[in-house]
Structure 1
Amino acid sequence: RKISPKTAPNLRLKWKFYAGRDISATPAIYDGTLYFPSWNGNIYAVKEGDGSLVWKQYLQNLTGLNAPEGLVENVNITVSRSTPTVAGDLLIIGLYGPAAVIAVKRTTGELVWKITLDYHPKALITMSGTYYNRAYYVGTSSLESLVPLEKCCTFRGSFVKMNARSGAILWRTYMLPDNNNTKGDQYTGAAIWGSSPSIDDKRNHVYIATGNLYSAPLRIRQCRERQMNRTGEPTQPDECVEPDNHSNSILALDLDSGKIRWYHLFGGYDVSIIECSDSSNPSPDCPPQADQPDVDFGESPIMLTIYVNRTWKDIVVAVQKSGYAWALDRNNGNLLWYTKAGPYGLAGGGSWGAASDEKRVYTNIVNSDAKNFTLAPSNMITTAGGWVAMDARNGRVLWSTANPSNSTAYGPVSVANEVLFAGSTDRMGSIYAIDAKSGKILWSYQTGGSVYGGMSISNGCIYVGHGYNVAYGYSLNLTGGTSLFAFCA
């Protein structure tokens, strides 16, 4: 049976696969098998039909790579946190420190190749890569924004194209000017960390989006001091942004060369590390803060085609931690519409991945700072997270639904056949099926552990893991989990 608004209320637990530790990655599904990592250090392949184990591999033993010490609290082993990518008979996996990518045989999990993309001690891969035309595309991220101010910073985000068969790097594009790996009066940051890059074969583009700066040259910090407390629309130009600073940006890169074809930075100056942005008593040495610091794009743009003014237009849309959704013309990066979907928060806003059925664009709103979030069309106010649908043609908010568990909503959203699926980070780990047209909740289930990841949808079933009892820099106070669940209509 197909999932639809009619059948979604009948979703029932079909099977549960026990891994013993948190599962926060959205599972990949290919040819009757699910592939996913757990925070216990394993990668699993299980049968879609009954959840039986096909194979598992312990990443530390498989790769011989060791996680940098103290990178993530509660986790001192080599793990992956992203969705594995199917590439023919291979499965390609990004590691959450060291920042390495590995390929295994899809049928057995046997190691084929491994490549470290960034040797920075705080570098890691959080993005789920994309396979296209014998190549694998992925970005590098880091946790360097968590280091003490006096040790900050040298990391620069980069985006890489690799030969999927061998792992050879074909090109790499950095998001910031070269800083000679020295800290101080330099640009650092601009991590690439959420969802999967989008490939546009018609234009030969790959679309990505980036995070905030960790540090900036003195001239930029002084510029910010001069314009403190400026007000105005988030679209207005910012004199403190130089053309080779590609933080907080949506970019189109050429598939063959990695050259930046166009880019658009949103939100202006944003130099932020946790010690300075998440402290009631920041050090006097902290760089001047943005009015809303740390407004990363924690997701890649999604591609869709809309019909406006009697013409078809190819666009990309991404939602920022600021709570704003941005739609750009794929030809040139021109801004077509923007919308405030929900409140800003240090962890979002929108994060990890929006979805679209080309009629509407859907996003989570984490609401990590528990701000007042006015819902549409009811005008009711919640301080929880929630989910929002916007008209793809113009960004108009059609509905927003508060998380009924009165908690944050960190995970990406998925949509199929007019049903939106989303998870909640409440202690009982609620998951929801929502009518995509109206925002009405059609079905819910408590998994028993905070749901931080997204749901995969296939053959009338949904698949989701639970648990997120890991911490990096500051604890989210979420509950752990053990399992992956299959629900079928």
Structure 2
Amino acid sequence: MKNSFVFLLIVMAQSLLQVESNCQTGEWISHGGDLKNRRFAEDEHLISVWSAPHLSEKWSFDAGADISATPAIYDCVVYFPSWNGLVFAVTIHGELLWSTNLTEITGVATLSRTIPAVTEELLLYGLLGPARGVALHRKNGRMVWMSEDLDETPLARITMSGTAYDGAFYVGMSSLQELVKAACCTFQGSFQKLDLKTGKRIWRTYMAPENSGLAFIGTGNLYQIPSDVQDCLNRNANSSDCYPRGVCDDAVVAVNMPDGEIRWCNRLGGNDVWRLACDTNPPPANCPPEPGPDYDLGESPMLLTIPSRFSKNKFQDIVVTGQKSGIVWAHDRDDGSLAWETTAGPGGFVGGAIWGAATDNHRVYTNIANSGSATFQLVPSGGSTTAGGWVAMDAATGRIEWSTANPHSARAYGPVTVANGVVFCGSFDKDGHVLALDAESGPILWERTTGSTVYGGLSVGHGCCFVGTGYSWDPLGDALGGTPGSELYAFCV
């Protein structure tokens, strides 16, 4: 009897250790999943090309409003915001641990649309306005600190999901000034470093001059340009020579982490001066004579390593990002030189490549939203579609290996995710399909409806994929025809 009791204790202890060990894996700590921003669930082994067809709904959680951010996963807990201003902590089994109202704890009417950057103690959010960073205690949702206004101009906001690293929180600023007819424009895009313990700003680096360790980021369009630059553009076909040093619009930028100094900046958009307000009739007086296409770098850069093209048995560190033009770019991390570029599909006002690519170090995967319903040639099959779709490229060369059309005749705005040979993606159709594709060749392994538009991406861990639904509260989502939703789903094998 005594031996049986001892054996039972040993079995129970092993089971507890197994649970604890499992909670130390399956983490998804930022928009890109890890510090390399790869959207790659590298520790996932339960989901595979063989098990993915058997994914089924394990649970759903009603957040009360749209969920458009990729959920974070840490210590067997899923963290995510909703468009009603609440942020949630729910176990991987669907049990609510806590929820926090950002308006109540900050004292300002606000919300966050971003996945939190997760550390052992903190959840770090950017506010949609005013442009502030907020740190919550990970285990109870209480506010630890709120930064000062990180940009003082009207309509400044934080759309970017930041990154926590080595005692600091890195985050970029954006603005809605391009939407208004008022005199344009006082906003300057910037990338900032905050102290992780206090939220105090350590440095701020602007992506354009005033109108008078490396971190890698992508930027968007300009709102306006000085008259001397416009005169130069009128005289010269090569617009790149007209821009002064320090203008990093539609660019991949490498920034020194200690001091914020720009190491290199590669502009990829040509002359892209654009404001939505200029599409109105009559337009404001200060609109550019030839508006650009608004080809932002809509995907955060990913860090990966490929075989060197120049030296056998050597490797090259590159940074890869997709653009709303539909082009995917790979640059050398050290000097910014171009490693490869690939036109994955048609560009558009809302993409093109948008919100997030993925890589498993063998291939780079991206969505093509095809917001303009252009003819999207599917390489190498030879077919075509006017819907959105998904594309896989060889990580070393950029060569397209497969393209898969969205079978539901809809855009494909959400970022993609890869896990153990399976690519996960979402469709913008009103029924909200989520899909799993074979990462090697692109066929659909599994799909499921969620009942409302899927705009955000899926995170993967513990044999499950987690995804939020709905995109209607944001005026852009409403304009694009997004349907309201409020559910976080867990689909598991």
TM-score normalised by structure 1 residue count: 0.88
Describe the SS at the equivalent of 1:316. Answer: strand
Question: Paired residue for 1:93, among 125, 134, 146?
Answer: 125
What is the deviation of 1:283? 6.0
1:124 equivalent in structure 2: 157
What is the deviation of 1:282? 5.3
1:379-438: per-residue Cα shift (whole Å, max 9, x none)?
A: 111111111101111111111111111111111111011110011111011111011111
What is the deviation of 1:281? 7.5
Describe the SS at the equivalent of 1:239. Answer: helix
The answer to whether structure 1 residue 247 and structure 2 residue 256 are counterparts is no
2:35 equivalent in structure 1: none
1:108 equivalent in structure 2: 140
1:223 equivalent in structure 2: 232
1:209 equivalent in structure 2: 218
Describe the SS at the equivalent of 1:238. Answer: helix
Distance 1:280-1:406 versus aligned 2 partners, 3 A rule: farther
Describe the SS at the equivalent of 2:103. Answer: helix
1:70 equivalent in structure 2: none
1:288 equivalent in structure 2: 289
What does 1:101-250 align with in structure 2 at a 5 Å threshold?
101-115=133-147, 116-148=149-181, 150-179=182-211, 204-227=213-236, 238-250=240-252
Describe the SS at the equivalent of 1:362. Answer: strand
The answer to whether structure 1 residue 380 and structure 2 residue 378 are counterparts is no
2:464 equivalent in structure 1: 461
The answer to whether structure 1 residue 412 and structure 2 residue 415 are counterparts is yes
Letter of the aligned partner of 1:11 in structure 2? L
Distance 1:359 1:130 in 2: 24
Relative to total residues, which structure has the larger helix share, 1 or 2?
2
Question: Paired residue for 1:443, among 435, 441, 446?
Answer: 446
The answer to whether structure 1 residue 314 and structure 2 residue 317 are counterparts is yes
Describe the SS at the equivalent of 1:88. Answer: coil
Contact 2:416–2:458, Cα closer than 8 Å, also in 1? yes
**Deviant stretches of 4+, over 6 Å:** none
The answer to whether structure 1 residue 333 and structure 2 residue 329 are counterparts is no
Contact 1:127–1:140, Cα closer than 8 Å, also in 2? yes
Kindly report the root-mean-square deviation, in angstroms, between the aligned alpha carbons of the 2 structures. 1.6
Distance 1:274 1:353 in 2: 23
What is the deviation of 1:45? 0.4
Structure number with larger C-alpha Rg? 2
Q: Percent identity?
A: 50
What is the deviation of 1:90? 1.3
Letter of the aligned partner of 1:239 in structure 2? D
What is the deviation of 1:121? 2.1
Distance 1:39 1:260 in 2: 34
What is the deviation of 1:260? 0.6
Contact 2:453–2:484, Cα closer than 8 Å, also in 1? yes
1:361 equivalent in structure 2: 364
What is the deviation of 1:377? 1.4
Distance 1:284-1:108 versus aligned 2 partners, 3 A rule: closer
Contact 1:253–1:262, Cα closer than 8 Å, also in 2? yes
1:291-323: per-residue Cα shift (whole Å, max 9, x none)?
A: x51010122210000013422110000000011
1:22-69: per-residue Cα shift (whole Å, max 9, x none)?
A: 000101110011110000110000011x21110001110011022xxx
1:182 equivalent in structure 2: none
TM-score normalised by structure 2 residue count: 0.87
Distance 1:437-1:282 versus aligned 2 partners, 3 A rule: farther
Distance 1:321 1:304 in 2: 21
Segments of structure 2 that go 5 or more residues without pairing to the other structure are 1-44
Contact 2:424–2:437, Cα closer than 8 Å, also in 1? yes
Describe the SS at the equivalent of 2:321. Answer: strand
2:271 equivalent in structure 1: 269
Contact 1:357–1:415, Cα closer than 8 Å, also in 2? yes
Contact 1:12–1:487, Cα closer than 8 Å, also in 2? yes
Using the TM superposition, name which of 86-95 and 470-479 deviates more. 470-479
Segments of structure 1 that go 5 or more residues without pairing to the other structure are 67-77, 180-185, 187-203, 231-235
Letter of the aligned partner of 2:100 in structure 1? Q
1:91-121: per-residue Cα shift (whole Å, max 9, x none)?
A: 1111111111111111111111101211222
Letter of the aligned partner of 1:220 in structure 2? V
What does 1:34-113 align with in structure 2 at a 5 Å threshold?
34-48=78-92, 50-66=93-109, 78-113=110-145
